[in-house]
């Protein structure tokens, strides 16, 4: 149950963090360590963010467990042992609870408290934050750590409320056991979540119908158990691993090969692709030739290779063809990692429906109607993704100077300076917000959380009570963000990075493709140059 953190209105807080995901927890820890009076509000009944909400069977890391986890403080590294190279959701949720306990964060966290509004007072130089329970809390600085994939999206077809069977979204999975046995189940969506859950549903359901809007280039996760010897080696190498992550574009331990794949013979290229197909995790995307991301021919060589793998793994050639993407190259969209996904389609009780051939018309009381027929169902699982990055801001009425809504400011796509602030919204910081992250998210957001902590400490030490930015600074950052994506193959694909997975959303690039080292340099340069682009008063 909510306690009373959010009802104390007498003394304003130094800082309020919204969201108890991996980024918000770290931000709370950092600000508290700096001696500030800080609290955290979280909508869920537990900590963990993404790893609290996405508790569907099969939910699992795409990043190596130890590269996604915290590196600081070091007792967290020394006292936690991951059981697998890519941990499953239950273990990650346990880990984030361990962190909350070990760092004694819970006394400053209020769960089950959804923030619904935040209003800036220029006279007081304070934010007043409102919760769903009607409580208010005043704070000097407000930090949103809402997660980039936290507002679930549903198909824009009528009838969801008519369906009499069970339905679930992978990003809102219940805490109770969901039983598939003997049921006719549909999974809509074949992104990372759909691809992860499908083998688990196939195991028990009496029938499984997979509704695919667009196929993806999936490659095997090749997960493995972490032995005690390997765990010790990871601890011994922690500095080296951190440095690899810190200095890589995506915050991962992988590095692309800088030689051109086009200089190799077919056989040589194939050897590399074979090796990467058998390598763990996102190796195919992150440890591949750099030109895969830049050159259409290089990319086409790789997709021809993966298409061949799909054809070899799926018995029915017509089904295999449906599973092979034709609208995008490898890496233009986040490629899902799979474990036995393609073999699922060889089972007699599994059917693949391509929504390109038969669009969905409506959800009915008893199932799903397409232009070609009606599918009778007991359960529908929506693996249909999220209103990425700015979606979670739509649920909070954030008002800045002159009562201006943040959503109006972002009407044509997000505008920020350094991904940290927006013009007209003083003392509001985004951690893991738009125009600031990509890849292995915690490695990006820890850089931001540390920056915000130093910034607030600096302001406090200088006796400042306000920090804001300008339209000119936003413009400069916007141009820098766009220059990072311009000319890449990613630029031309429709994906959640541009918000184009959700019908009717304006297309705008939401992430940061400049890479972690450049991002860190940019924000620390601004800090060293007397907070260039910011106004402190």
Please give the C-alpha separations between residue 351 and each of 92, 198, 282, 324, 346, in angstroms, as whole numbers: 32, 11, 28, 16, 9
DSSP 237: T
Whole-number Å distance between alpha carbons of 158 and 151:
20
Whole-number Å distance between alpha carbons of 430 and 500:
22
Residue with Cβ nearer ligand NA7 (383 or 424): 383
Binding segment (CB under 6 A) for ligand NA7, from list 3-11, 160-168, 307-315, 382-390: 382-390
Here's the x/- map for ligand NA7, 199-238, by CB under 6 A: it reads as ------------x-xx------------------------
Q: Work out how close the CB of 328 gets to ligand NA7 at its nearest, in angstroms, rounded to a whole number.
A: 9
Q: Work out how close the CB of 432 gets to ligand NA7 at its nearest, in angstroms, rounded to a whole number.
A: 13
Residue with Cβ nearer ligand NA7 (192 or 416): 192
For residue 187, state whether it binds ligand NA7 (rule: CB under 6 A): no
For residue 188, state whether it binds ligand NA7 (rule: CB under 6 A): yes
Q: Work out how close the CB of 335 gets to ligand NA7 at its nearest, in angstroms, rounded to a whole number.
A: 9
Rounded to 5°, angle at Cα 490 from 310 and 191: 45
- Asked whether 18 and 143 are in contact (CB, 8 A), the reply is yes
239 CB neighbour count, 10 Å cutoff: 10
Identified binder of ligand NA7 from the candidate list 57, 191, 220, 367, rule CB under 6 A: 191
For residue 193, state whether it binds ligand NA7 (rule: CB under 6 A): yes
- Asked whether 51 and 89 are in contact (CB, 8 A), the reply is yes
Residue with Cβ nearer ligand NA7 (388 or 452): 388
Here's the x/- map for ligand NA7, 131-170, by CB under 6 A: it reads as ------------------x-----xx-------------x
Beta strands in 439-479 (DSSP E): 467-469
For residue 92, state whether it binds ligand NA7 (rule: CB under 6 A): no
For residue 65, state whether it binds ligand NA7 (rule: CB under 6 A): no
Classify the C-alpha dihedral 228-233-238-242 as positive or negative: negative
Q: Work out how close the CB of 336 gets to ligand NA7 at its nearest, in angstroms, rounded to a whole number.
A: 7
Q: Work out how close the CB of 434 gets to ligand NA7 at its nearest, in angstroms, rounded to a whole number.
A: 16
SS3 (DSSP) at 455: helix
Beta strands in 166-264 (DSSP E): 166-169, 184-188, 207-212, 219-220
Identified binder of ligand NA7 from the candidate list 19, 46, 385, 499, rule CB under 6 A: 385
Q: Work out how close the CB of 175 gets to ligand NA7 at its nearest, in angstroms, rounded to a whole number.
A: 19
Whole-number Å distance between alpha carbons of 323 and 333:
15
Identify whether 73 is preceded by a cis peptide bond (ω within 30 of 0). yes
Residue with Cβ nearer ligand NA7 (186 or 420): 186
Count of all residues that appear for the chain in the document: 537
Q: Work out how close the CB of 25 gets to ligand NA7 at its nearest, in angstroms, rounded to a whole number.
A: 19
Q: Where are the alpha helices (DSSP H) in 336-420?
A: 341-344, 406-409
Identified binder of ligand NA7 from the candidate list 57, 88, 189, 199, rule CB under 6 A: 189
Residue with Cβ nearer ligand NA7 (136 or 222): 222
Range 463-502, binding ligand NA7 (CB under 6 A) = 496, 501
Residue with Cβ nearer ligand NA7 (113 or 190): 190
Please give the C-alpha separations between residue 221 and each of 92, 196, 257, 340, in angstroms, as whole numbers: 17, 10, 20, 10
Site size with ligand NA7, rule: CB under 6 A: 22
Range 388-447, binding ligand NA7 (CB under 6 A) = none
- Asked whether 373 and 358 are in contact (CB, 8 A), the reply is yes
- Asked whether 86 and 64 are in contact (CB, 8 A), the reply is yes
Residue with Cβ nearer ligand NA7 (2 or 280): 280
Whole-number Å distance between alpha carbons of 73 and 67:
14
Long-range CB contact pairs, 403-409, < 8 A, 24+: 403/119
Residue with Cβ nearer ligand NA7 (16 or 197): 197
Identified binder of ligand NA7 from the candidate list 128, 190, 283, 436, rule CB under 6 A: 190
Range 45-64, binding ligand NA7 (CB under 6 A) = 62
Helix 266-278 to helix 296-313 angle, to the nearest 10 degrees? 60
Residue with Cβ nearer ligand NA7 (99 or 153): 153
Q: Work out how close the CB of 53 gets to ligand NA7 at its nearest, in angstroms, rounded to a whole number.
A: 11
Read off the tokens for 233: 């080696």
For residue 355, state whether it binds ligand NA7 (rule: CB under 6 A): yes
Residue with Cβ nearer ligand NA7 (300 or 356): 356
Per-residue b/e over 24-40, b at no fewer than 16 CB within 10 Å? Answer: bbbbbbbbbebebebbb
Residue with Cβ nearer ligand NA7 (170 or 261): 170
For residue 185, state whether it binds ligand NA7 (rule: CB under 6 A): no
Residue with Cβ nearer ligand NA7 (190 or 252): 190
Task: Choose among 201, 167, 170, 191: nearest CA to 349.
Answer: 201
Residue with Cβ nearer ligand NA7 (131 or 501): 501
Identified binder of ligand NA7 from the candidate list 209, 223, 384, 448, rule CB under 6 A: 384
Classify the C-alpha dihedral 487-281-54-444 as positive or negative: negative
Task: Choose among 434, 399, 403: nearest CA to 146.
Answer: 434
- Asked whether 385 and 189 are in contact (CB, 8 A), the reply is yes
- Asked whether 197 and 58 are in contact (CB, 8 A), the reply is yes
Here's the x/- map for ligand NA7, 297-336, by CB under 6 A: it reads as -------------------------------------x--
Q: Work out how close the CB of 383 gets to ligand NA7 at its nearest, in angstroms, rounded to a whole number.
A: 5
Position closest to ligand NA7 via CB: 191
Residues near ligand NA7 (CB under 6 A): 62, 149, 155-156, 170, 188-194, 211, 213-214, 334, 355, 383-385, 496, 501
């Amino acid at each position: 149950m909510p306690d009373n953190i959010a009802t104390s209105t007498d003394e304003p807080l130094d800082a309020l963090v919204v969201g108890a995901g991996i980024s918000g927890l770290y931000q709370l820890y950092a600000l508290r360590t700096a001696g500030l009076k800080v609290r955290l509000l979280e909508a869920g009944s537990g900590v963990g963010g993404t790893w609290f909400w996405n508790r569907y069977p099969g939910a699992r890391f795409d990043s190596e467990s130890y590269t996604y986890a915290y590196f600081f403080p070091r007792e967290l590294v020394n006292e936690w042992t991951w059981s697998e190279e890519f941990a499953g959701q239950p273990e990650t949720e346990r880990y984030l609870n361990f962190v909350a306990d070990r760092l004694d964060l819970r006394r400053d966290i209020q769960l089950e408290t959804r923030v619904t509004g935040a209003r800036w007072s220029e006279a007081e130089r304070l934010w007043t934050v409102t919760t769903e329970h009607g409580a208010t809390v005043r704070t000097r600085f407000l930090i949103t750590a809402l997660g980039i994939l936290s507002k679930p999206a549903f198909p824009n077809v009528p009838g969801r409320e008519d369906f009499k069977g069970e339905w679930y979204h992978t990003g809102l999975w219940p805490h109770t056991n969901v039983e598939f046995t003997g049921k006719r189940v549909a999974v809509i969506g074949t992104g990372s979540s759909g691809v992860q859950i499908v083998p688990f549903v196939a195991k028990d359901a009496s029938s499984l119908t997979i509704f695919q809007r667009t196929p993806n280039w999936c490659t095997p996760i090749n997960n493995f158990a972490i032995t005690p010897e390997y765990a010790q080696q990871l601890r011994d190498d922690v500095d080296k691993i951190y440095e690899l992550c810190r200095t890589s574009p995506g915050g991962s331990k992988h590095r692309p090969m800088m030689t051109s794949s086009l200089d190799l013979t077919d056989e040589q290229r194939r050897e590399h692709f074979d090796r990467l197909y058998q390598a763990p995790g996102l190796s195919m995307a992150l440890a591949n030739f750099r030109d895969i991301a830049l050159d259409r021919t290089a990319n086409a060589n790789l997709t021809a290779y993966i298409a061949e793998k799909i054809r070899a793994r799926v018995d029915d050639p017509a089904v295999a063809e449906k599973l092979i993407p034709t609208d995008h190259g490898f890496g233009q969209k986040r490629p899902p990692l799979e474990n036995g996904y393609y073999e699922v389609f060889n089972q007699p009780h599994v059917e693949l429906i391509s929504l390109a051939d038969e669009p969905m018309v409506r959800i009915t009381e008893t199932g799903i109607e397409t232009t070609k027929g009606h599918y009778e169902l007991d359960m529908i699982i929506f693996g249909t993704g999220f209103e990425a990055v700015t979606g979670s801001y739509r649920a909070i009425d954030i008002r800045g100077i002159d009562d201006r809504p943040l959503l109006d400011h972002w009407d044509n796509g997000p505008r920020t300076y350094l991904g940290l602030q927006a013009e007209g919204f003083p003392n509001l910081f985004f951690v893991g917000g738009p125009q600031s992250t990509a890849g292995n998210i915690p490695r990006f957001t820890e850089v931001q959380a540390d920056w915000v902590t130093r910034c607030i400490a600096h302001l406090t030490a200088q006796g400042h009570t306000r920090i804001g930015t300008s339209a000119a600074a936003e413009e400069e950052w916007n141009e820098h963000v766009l220059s990072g994506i311009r000319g890449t193959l990613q630029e031309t694909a429709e994906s959640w990075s541009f918000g184009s997975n959700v019908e009717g959303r304006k297309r705008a690039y939401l992430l940061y493709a400049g890479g972690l080292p450049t991002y860190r340099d940019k924000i620390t340069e601004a800090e060293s140059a007397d907070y260039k682009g910011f106004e402190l008063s």
